[in-house]
Amino acid sequence: MTKEGWFFPSPTRVITPCGANELASASRCDGTPAVEFRWRPSSGALYSQWLDVSTFDNGFAAGTYRSVGPLDHGINSLTWEQLPGSALVWRVNTNTPKGWVATEVHSIATCDVPVGLQPHYSCSNGRAVVEFRWSPVASTTAGQWIDLSLVLDGFQEGNFKSSGKIPPAGETHIWPDLTPNQPHYYRVNALTPNGWRTSVTRSFIPICPPS
């Protein structure tokens, strides 16, 4: 209290440090496949930067992505070779005095790959009938397949089923009699003259009432 009356100090403000921004990327498919990642580093104090890359669109769950780092403060780009020939999600993680600050997640196709879309589903007799949807690759393919799993383990042998051969221009595929009310993980595989091209792994839960 002062002689003029009560004095109320301004509220305390917690300043959250800014992470990296202005993310961009470009893929190179001729010769050795590679992706150039670019960003503007944090303008505030930082200890290090890390680049995270994954073929799983799952929020970078532990054990499902690769990182390169620590990168020095001034580094604003990195070219990464020998990445999987598929669509990728990526981010830049900045270690600041206030803790880790991650950028928004961005995506990049390392080459010409199918892009999975959100599936549609219906329920019949307590089971799920799912219509998978995607944008096919632009190049000529020998066929396409849907891989489906109930576990997120990178489609280890014996842990997933495949459905196909789907025509090269196919954009949808109906898979009946799936287990409802639990996560499913899927990807689209296209066989091209340059080898397999694989979409990002996506997930969905078909919600069906008890029959």
| 169 & 190 share domain | yes
Tens digit of each residue's pLDDT (9 = 90 or more) over 37-91: 999 998 877 788 999 999 888 889 998 899 999 998 889 999 998 887 667 889 9
Q: What is the 3-state secondary structure (H, E, C) of the chain?
A: CECCECCCCCCCCCCCCCCCEEEEEEEECCCCCEEEEEEECCCCCCCEEEEEEECECCCCCCCCCEEEEEECCCCCEEEEECCCCEEEEEEEEEEECCEEEECCCEEEECCCCCEEEEEEEEEECCEEEEEEEEECCCCCCCEEEEEEECCCCCCCCCCEEEEEEECCCCCEEEEEEECCCCCEEEEEEEEECCEEEECCEEEECCCCCCC
Work out how many domains the chain is built from and give that number: 2
Instruction: Provide the CATH number for the domain around residue 199.
Output: 2.60.40.10
Domain presence at residue 140: yes
In a structure prediction context, what are the per-residue pLDDT tens digits for the chain, which is 211 residues long?
A: 445 455 444 343 333 457 888 998 887 766 677 889 999 998 877 788 999 999 888 889 998 899 999 998 889 999 998 887 667 889 999 998 888 999 988 888 777 778 788 899 999 989 999 999 987 876 667 899 999 999 999 899 999 999 999 998 888 999 999 999 999 999 999 998 878 888 889 999 999 988 6
Domain presence at residue 11: no
Domain presence at residue 8: no
pLDDT of residue 134: 86
Domain presence at residue 16: no
Domain presence at residue 15: no
Last residue of one domain, picked from the residues 109, 132, 164: 109
pLDDT of residue 3: 52
| 125 & 97 share domain | no
Structural domain containing residue 65 = 21-109
